[in-house]
Amino acid sequence: MNTQIAFITYETPYAPGGGIAAVMAHLPKSIHKSSGLPTYVISPYHRYIAKTTDIEQNMEVICKIQVPFDDRIFDIEVRALDNEINWVFLKSTSDTNENPPFFSGQRHPYDVETTSNQSILLRDSLFFGKAVSSALPAINAKCHWVILLQDWEAATTTLALSNQPEVIGKTSQFLTLHNSYDCGVSDGDLRRIGISRDREVGHTILEYSLPLLGNPIFTVSKQFAEDLSTEILQTEIMIPHITSQLRTRLLGVNNGVFMENAIPHDIYSSAVEGDYSSLRDWKNENRKQAFAAIDSFSPAKSTPIWGDTKKFDRGEAQWFVMAGRDDSRQKGFELACLAAERYLHINDQARFLFFPIPGEEGLSGISFIKSLAQKYPHRILAFPFLFREGFFPILRGATFGMMPSYYEPFGMANEYYLNGVVCIGRATGGITQQVVPFRQASSFSLAVKKRSDRWDRQHTPATGFLFREPDDIPNKLGDWQAINAANYAINSQKSNRLEQRRKLPTVHAMVEEFVTCLEDASQIFQTNQDLYYQMVTGGISYIQKEFSWNNAAKTYLKHILPD
């Protein structure tokens, strides 16, 4: 059978928005290499994303299609970029009367507004799904398409194909959940792509599409697959409407790593043999490079630095770093701030560096980080933008990387290790798999043990530190509902995200355990640096051994290819 594989995704490395783009940079190539089959990545052409527009001159228009949507016909150019695999971009060319035009995210693909009671992201995702359903037969009408849909924004393709029997019969469709977000869809929304709700299956994209998809439903780590069926945040709050559909169908496939080991080979090899002097020198040299980048950077309104770069300790203080795109329901920057302030009263030599990429709430949403940096300007620095010149030197010069996530499908712990940094994380999702906790630490509680025992044996060498609040906190459901509601005043000093959540018993317990974890990690670094550097090198070895794109590809192919 003539089989071709297509990843359908709203974001790519050419239009990054989060973790999906990082996966798309690796998994399609591995799938292609392992299968030998033609492999495509099909995404929107995001007209305002520089990484997309910068490569437009290298794209070839392979065909033009017309897409019916909302009782109109729209012209689409199917553009291809030949780069080991086939990158395909669907560019709308006749939507000038749309307000805003399709695929007009500014900072990232999801950076669109809700206007006139209309979700622009939902509109664009439905249009994308409809366009994909027309583009697939235009690219190749004679093959069997194995379709790998990435999250709900791509699952709209399944809805669009549901009334195209001449196409759907030539496809096998599978879904990968990189997150547990879903989106409501009305009868009117469905009519825009030419279908009617002919069965009572619910009122969201995933509710409607799951019965039409093949088994299994994939997730990006084995632990996240477990969490989607067992964690109260998921089963009672995020996805109670689809938990029963997912529970027997989920398959966690661990992502591979997102980068190479940044430590030079000779330095790393010496450290593996127990000589840590060169690794220590390498980290110190990165600190020098970090301060050179900081001193030469000129802050602006959109790229401010919070804290005092001149007074910030430039000696041998421990650096605790946290990075990533802000998501008020997931990332936990406010947990890190609450723990940092508590910990600075215990250890005034510690230093914290934050790299929050503003999310939906913008800079105002993370103003609590600014307030903390202003309160402790010589101990805390924050760079709320993509600090390309200084991020990696700072990270590689850091002592610990923090991941206090409320939940974590896979996570960036692997990136901490591969930059020579030990991870401190909350035991959830992929963090639990990527970090082997130090079992002699005070923070290695029963709640941590319960989760880490699934992946690590007692004799597995420790690579970092995990914390977790107790499982028996009263009214835990109510606290999680409050966290997920994100019902606070973004611009208020008294009722912002941090101030609202610090009052919740569950958050209070998280912060208590987090602070204990910071103390444990700091103590190890102060009293047993050999053990610290063993964690660095052991963490790199563990990550490289356990997380492989080749293994991920083979697992996918085992389940998606027709017999």
CATH number at residue 172: 3.40.50.2000
Residues 292 and 208 in one domain: no
Q: How far is CA 434 from CA 395, 401, 467, 520, 553, in A?
A: 18, 13, 14, 19, 19
Tell me: do 207 and 115 sit in the same domain: yes
Ramachandran quadrant class, 486 (left: phi over 0; alpha: psi -120 to 50; beta: rest): left
User: Long-range contact list for 492-498, CB < 8 A, 24+ apart?
Assistant: 493/367, 493/371, 496/367, 496/368, 497/328, 497/334, 497/365, 497/368, 498/334, 498/337, 498/338, 498/368
- Per-residue pLDDT, averaged over 482-508, amounts to 92
- State whether 384 and 512 are in the same domain: yes
The arithmetic mean of pLDDT across residues 218-224, rounded, is 98
The proportion of the chain whose per-residue pLDDT surpasses 90, expressed as a percent, equals 87
45, 30: one domain? yes
Choice among 78-82, 127-131, 515-519 with the minimum mean pLDDT: 78-82
Confidence grade of residue 1 (pLDDT, cut at 50, 70, 90):
low
At residue 401, φ and ψ (nearest 5 deg) are -110, 140
**Length of the chain (residues):** 563
Which residues make beta-bridge pairs with 85? 83
Question: Degrees (nearest 5) of the Cα angle 202, 234, 228?
Answer: 95
Q: What pLDDT is recorded for position 199?
A: 62
Residue 118 pLDDT greater than 90, yes or no: no
For the ranges 68-72, 200-204, 534-538, which has the lowest average pLDDT?
200-204
Residue 107 has pLDDT above 90, yes or no: no
Q: What's the number of CA atoms in the CB half-sphere (13 Å) around residue 117? A: 3
Q: Are residues 218 and 290 in the same domain?
A: no
Q: Are 356 and 382 in contact (CB under 8 A)?
A: yes
**Same domain (yes/no): 252, 311:** no
Q: Are 211 and 298 within one domain? A: no
Element (H, E) at 336: helix 333-346
The C-alpha atoms of residue 16 and residue 94 are separated, in whole angstroms, by: 25
Tokens 């947990």, residue located: 335
Q: Give exposure, 126-135, as e/b (b: 16+ Cβ within 10 Å).
A: bbbbbbbbbb
CA 329 to chain centre: 13
pLDDT digits (tens, 9 = 90+) for 315-336: 889 999 999 999 999 999 999 9
Residues 549, 556: Cα–Cα separation, whole Å: 10
Of 52-66, 217-231, 481-495, 501-515, minimum mean pLDDT range = 481-495
How many Cβ atoms sit within 10 Å of the Cβ of residue 204?
18
Check whether residue 42 and residue 24 sit in a common domain: yes
Burial of 308 (0-12, 13-18, 19+ CB in 10 A): middle
86 and 107 in a single domain? The answer is yes
User: d(Cα 225, Cα 43) in Å, to the nearest integer?
Assistant: 25
**Count of the separate structural domains present in the chain:** 2
**Which residues, in sequence order, are CB contacts of 50 under 8 Å at separation 6+?**
none
Q: Indicate the pTM of the whole model.
A: 0.94
With a cut of 90, say whether residue 97 has pLDDT above it: no
Residue in this structure with the two tokens 């990690």, named with its chain if needed: 521
Q: Is 297 exposed, middle or buried (0-12, 13-18, 19+ CB in 10 A)?
A: middle
| Per-residue model confidence (pLDDT) at position 18 | 84
Asked if 466 and 515 sit in the same domain, the reply is yes
Report pLDDT for 392: 97
**Cβ(366)–Cβ(332) below 8 Å:** no
Tens digits of residue pLDDT in 366-419: 999 999 999 999 999 999 999 999 999 999 999 999 999 999 999 999 999 999
Is residue 465 over pLDDT 70?
yes
Q: 224 and 275 share a domain?
A: no
Cis bond upstream, residue 100 (ω within 30): yes
Confidence band of 198 (pLDDT split at 50, 70, 90): low
The half-sphere exposure of 325 on its side-chain side, counting CA atoms within 13 A, is: 16
Using one digit for the tens of pLDDT, what is the confidence trace for 498-547? 999 999 999 999 999 999 999 999 999 999 999 999 999 999 999 999 99
The pLDDT assigned to 116 comes to 55
Among positive and negative, which fits the CA dihedral 238, 243, 249, 251?
positive
**Domain span holding position 117:** 3-256+551-560
The per-residue pLDDT for 326 is 94
Per the prediction, the chain carries an average pLDDT of 94
Query: Both 168 and 317 in a single domain?
Result: no
